[in-house]
Structure 1
C-alpha cells in the first residue's frame, strides 16, 4: 500500500515513532547503508503504525518508516520496519500478574534474544532456504527496551498449502541441526526452564480455567471440548512427568515461535524469511513444529480439519531436515518431542479462555451479539481440534 508523506524540512516529523525516532542525518545514513551507497539526500519521510492484530508481550511498537531519498540519480523510495521490543514488565499484560509473584514472573520471560540475534552473524550461518531481515540499527536502552530498524521484506500473501508447511518443517529441521547455527542457539544469557512456564503461564492462567466448572458449562466449551475433559485432566495430573521429560529431551536450536506469521514466504522462490526471534533458544527436538502447525489455527486463520495429516508430513520433513545437516534422529524421537511440546504449549492452553473473558466483559457492557457468539463457537471448535490431535499424538508416542 502506498502512503503519502509531507516533505521533511527538519527533524521530528515522524511523530508516530515518538521516542523511537532518529535524526534526519541518522535516517539518511541508514538509507545509504541499505542501498550500499556513500550518501543520500533525504527528500521526505513519514511514519505510521503497522496494522497487526496478534499481540505480543515482548513487543511495544511496530511502525513503518517510508520516504524518498536521492543518491545522485533522482529520488526513489525506501521503507524500514521499526520495532520496539522490551522486558515484559513493560507490557500491559504484566498488570494482571499477581503482586506476590511479580518479581519472579518478571525474571521468567527472556526478552533480549531479538536484539542479540540481529547484532549477530546469524544471517551468514542460516541454511540455504532461510534468511532474515537485515538490521540497519539496533539500540538497546537502560530501561530494558531495544529499538530495531530493519529492512522491509516482501512476503507472498497467498494462503499456505500443506506443501508449504512441509517445506518449512524441513528447513526448521535443518536450522535445528545446523552446526554453523549451533554456537548462536543460546545467545540470550537469561535462564529459562520449562518448570518456570509450568509454574507461571500454566499454573496462573491455564489450569484455573481447566478446573473451573463454569468453563465447562459454557455452551461452546461443552459442545466442542466436552468429550476431551477427562483426558485433559489426566494430562494435568501427569504434568510434572511431562515437564521432566521435556527438560531431559535432546535440545537443539529453535526459533521458538515458528508460526507462519514469523516465516515469511519469499516471493519468487521456495525459501522463507525468519522474523520475531524473541523466544529463540535451545529447545527439545521437534519443538518448532508446534507453532508451525497450530499457530494459525490458534488465532483463527486456519482450520484444524487436516491437522493430523499435515502434522504427519511435517514430522517426517523435519526429521529429513535434521538428516540433511548430518544429524540422524529416530522418527519416534522427533514425534515424541513434538507431542510433549505441543501438549504443554498448545494442547493444555487450547481452551478459548480469552474469548470467554471477552464475552463476559461484553455482557457487562450491554450485551453479546450473534457475530461474537459465532466467532467464539468457531474458535472453540478449531481449538478443540488442536487439543484432540495433541491428546492423540501424546498417547500414541507414550513410551
Structure 2
C-alpha cells in the first residue's frame, strides 16, 4: 500500500480516538438535582455498558493502527485498508448512537420539576414490574416525548450496533403528565417487559393457533386474538396493577375520530381501538367485579356506536365483541410453566385492589396524606383512579396530588439509596479535629 493512503487512514483512525476520548460518563456532565437522578443500579448498568463499548472500540482502533503500520498493512491494497477502516467507523457511529439513546433520556432530568417527576415515574415503574418470585427485574428509566402513545425499549433486547440493552427505557407521552393516564400508559409498557421476562407471548400464541386450527367454538376469531396477544397481555398487566385507572387512561389514548376507532387493520399489533376498550372493561370486570365496568363499557359504546358502519365491519366487530368471554376463559385460566402452574391472576395482587378496598384506602389517605406516599405507587394510582370514577376526585386535585406524590417518591428513593450506600461503607475511627497554633 502506498504511503499516502497509509498516512490518511492513520490520521482518520487517530481522529476517531480523539473524538472517542471526548465521550465522558454521564455523571461528569449531566446537571440534575439528586432527586431527579436515575437509580444507582440503572446508572451503574448504563455506565458499565457504555464504558465497555468505548474500551472495545478503542482496542479495535489500536489493532487497526498496528495492522496498518505492520507487514499486513504494507502488503494490503488501499481498497482493503479503506474497507477495514470503514467498518471501524461504522462501529464508532454505533457507539455514538447507543450513547445518544441514553443521553436523550438523561438530559430531561435537568428540567425543572419534570426531572423529579420522571424519577418518581421510575419508582412507579419499578413497583409495577416487581415480581420477585418469578424473575429479577431490570432497572427501569422513563423519559417524555411527543405523541399520544407510550413505548418501551425493553431490557436485554438488542441495541443499534449490537449488544443487549442494560435497562428498560420507557417513553411516556408528555401530554399524559400529570394524571392517572400516565400510570395507564406506563404500566402497559411495564407489562411488555414483564411478559417478556416470563416468556408468555409465544406459548399463548401456540394455544390460540391450536384453537383456530382445531375448529374451536367461534373459530375464525382466534386469528385476531393470536395476533393481538402481546398487547392484550400488556393491557392485562396494567389493569391488574392499577385497576380502572388503566381503562380510563386507555380511553384517553384511543379517543380519536370514529374512522380510527373502528378501523380494522391487520398490520397493527394492537386490537381495534373500539374493541380494545371493550376488552379492557371485560378484563376489569373479571379481575375486579363491580358494576362500574359495565357502565363504562356502555358509555364507550355511546361515544362510538356501531350504527351507521358498513355491514361487514359491524358484523366483524360484533363477532369479536361476543368472543371476548371465550377469549378471557383461555387467557385467565392459562397456566404456563414459567408461572409454576399458576394462572395469571394468581400471581398478581388482585385482592387488595378490589374496588371496595381501593375506596377505603383513598378515604383513609385523605385523612392521613402522609400514608399515601408510603404505600406502593401502583396501589396509590389504582386508588386514585377508583376515586376518580366514583366522582370523589376532580382532575385539578388529581393532578396536584399525583405531582406531589411523584416528587415524594423520587425524594424517598434518593434518600433510601443514599442511606443504603452509607450503611455499606466501612466504619472509620473518629478523627480528632485539628488544632492550629
Give the alignment's TM-score, normalised by structure 1: 0.34
Task: Considering fraction of residues, name the structure with more helix.
Answer: 2
> Which structure's CA Rg is the greater one?
2
The alignment's TM-score, normalised by the length of structure 2, stands at 0.31
